[in-house]
Structure 1
Amino acid sequence: MTQTGRRSRIESFSNPLVKRMRLLREKRHRRAEGLFLAEGLRIATEARDAGVLPKWLFLAEEGAAHPLAQALVSATLASGGEVIDTTPAILSKLSGKENAQAIVAIYAEPKTLLTDLDRNTAPIWLVAERLRDPGNLGTMLRTGDAVGAGGLILLGESTDPYGVEAVRASMGAIFTQRLVQAEWDDFLPWLRGGPGQLVATWLGEDTVDYQAVRYAAPTFVLVGNESQGMPEAYAAAADMRVKMPMMGKADSLNAAVAAAVMAYEVLNQRRN
């Protein structure tokens, strides 16, 4: 494999590249740079397997000896990226964690639009409206990966999917799932421009049991905001409003859990 990138060593906190990359923990700098940060050999390997390689790969001596790390280094250099040998202290500075993992990778942020999606490539798509918790976002990406979903569509002012916490929670699914950020007024016309059944998880009236429905591919599973649910108009626009039985005192499920229950019901119907 021909190496076209370069490898260097950085040990100073005052290095301009270190200063620049540590700012990626802030949303405004991520947007300005069009870059985001991911930490850990597992996530970086998931990205490599998905055909996504970092622009910069920082690694400490402890991590560099691992066979997967060596493969990642070779692939990064071959793609024209830069490999930087550094110290655990600088990795901590980049990630914001005291006990940082031995690898921190910097990736270009994808700019995927609704019009870039081919809805027919997968029978399941997840849609979340104003999802605020990065852990929930990461969990939904992992769920989508597990059920073979095409991707996740975020509607409205959702948490930044490329923030460190969301990337970490996705456990690499940020690289295997298509991810689109859009507004409802753009999403609904796009959806109605082709095949697709929109199914809303809804606590209001006019609902049916989620297992009493035969879902049609592609199924778009819509969940609302963690604390407020979704606007009534969104639920009204759905082809189906479904509800999961609540046998205890709680009146609703966590948004990511509800999406997972729904996604597996749709998957199980396909399997059966």
Structure 2
Amino acid sequence: MKEITSLQNATIKETKKLLKPKYREQTGDYLIEGEHLIQEALKEALNFEKIFVTEKFIANHETFELLKASTDVFLVSEQVMKSLSSLPTPQGIAGVLQQQEKPLQFPLEGPLLILDRVQDPGNVGTMIRTADAAGYAGVVLGEGCADIYSGKVQRSLQGSHFHLPVVQKKLETFLPFLKENGIQLLGTALDEEAKIYTEFTPEKNFALIMGNEGQGVAQQFLQLTDRNLYIPIHGQAESLNVAVAAGILMYGLKGKILQKY
């Protein structure tokens, strides 16, 4: 195990660049931190390019198979670890992985969640994690969504991107492709023909589209949907957070499928 105590170390300076989207895009690498995310990656048999760990972390943890997951394991000072972290209080372990996109499998073995310009990192991560929990076949990110390899999205994801396909597509071409392949498109909007989600039973394979926090699903995409759904508001709130709404709809619609099939 190599030891690094200097913030000016070349490896540290290079790794810190992964905190920036442009460098992640250039290298195809990204940084994850925290024991849970590291362990989730190991469950998928992913190989780390580098692992950074502090003495304090080693002293408080008895399981070290994670340190065998990379040929480059570095023992770093608390100060160095803090420089690699986007957290106020780092957990003491971080690793570098190569970005890997699991492809969607056709024919689908379940519903899809599609995000249109959802910009808040917490919302994007929470929605992917909920899709994972609800047993969805994958998540499709349209243009303008938050970068799933950012620290904020990763913390919200909690490793769910290791479990199901999370792919980026141009919705202008991908949504017509789904329709051509018999996938029911469900939008989220309040219009004259929209139905309350509890009164609607979807087809076995459908795609649920959730839209931008302020503007909703783009009109051009709503014109392609087979049905638009809404969640009734019984109190005084003007609207629901998009991630909360997505959770309600994903579980509600999946429950209808389980009852029907």
> Smaller-chain TM-score range?
over 0.9
**For residues 132-147 of structure 1, what are the structure 2 equivalents within 5 Å?**
132-147=119-134
1:111 is displaced (CA, Å) by 4.4
Contact 2:111 2:137 in 1 (8 A): yes
Contact 2:203 2:257 in 1 (8 A): no
1:135 is displaced (CA, Å) by 0.3
Which residue does 1:12 correspond to in 2?
A: 6
Q: Does 1:174 align with 2:161?
A: yes
* Matches of 1:194 and 1:73, distance apart in 2: 45
1:39 is displaced (CA, Å) by 0.8
| Count of matched residue pairs | 258
Which of 182, 191, 201 is matched with 2:178 structurally? 191
Contact 1:119 1:150 in 2 (8 A): no
Deviations 1:20-47 (A, max 9, x none): 1111111111111111111100111111
Contact 1:119 1:218 in 2 (8 A): no
For structure 1, list consecutive stretches of 5 or more residues without a partner in the other structure.
1-6
1:84 is displaced (CA, Å) by 1.3
* Matches of 2:109 and 2:15, distance apart in 1: 35
Deviations 1:109-155 (A, max 9, x none): 1245xxx3114453121111001000001101110111111221111
Which residue does 1:204 correspond to in 2?
A: 191
* Matches of 1:130 and 1:149, distance apart in 2: 20
1:170 is displaced (CA, Å) by 0.9
> Does the residue aligned with 2:122 lie in a helix, a strand or coil?
helix
Contact 2:110 2:204 in 1 (8 A): yes
Which of 102, 113, 122 is matched with 1:126 structurally? 113
> Does the residue aligned with 1:174 lie in a helix, a strand or coil?
helix
Q: Does 1:57 align with 2:51?
A: yes
Give the aligned residue type for 2:87: K
TM value normalised by structure 1: 0.89
Which of 245, 251, 260 is matched with 2:247 structurally? 260
For structure 2, list consecutive stretches of 5 or more residues without a partner in the other structure.
none
* Matches of 1:49 and 1:141, distance apart in 2: 18
* Matches of 1:8 and 1:111, distance apart in 2: 31
Which residue does 1:4 correspond to in 2?
A: none
* Matches of 1:147 and 1:253, distance apart in 2: 19
Q: Does 1:103 align with 2:93?
A: yes
Which residue does 2:83 correspond to in 1?
A: 93
Which of 216, 232, 235 is matched with 2:203 structurally? 216
1:185 is displaced (CA, Å) by 1.6
1:255 is displaced (CA, Å) by 1.2
Q: Percent identical across equivalent pairs?
A: 28
Which residue does 1:3 correspond to in 2?
A: none
Contact 2:34 2:93 in 1 (8 A): yes
Please list every run of at least 4 consecutive aligned residues from structure 1 whose deviation after the TM superposition is greater than 4 angstroms: none
Contact 2:186 2:206 in 1 (8 A): yes
* Matches of 2:101 and 2:129, distance apart in 1: 20
TM value normalised by structure 2: 0.93
Which residue does 2:67 correspond to in 1?
A: 73
Deviations 1:209-266 (A, max 9, x none): 1011111122211111001111222112111111111112223221111111111012
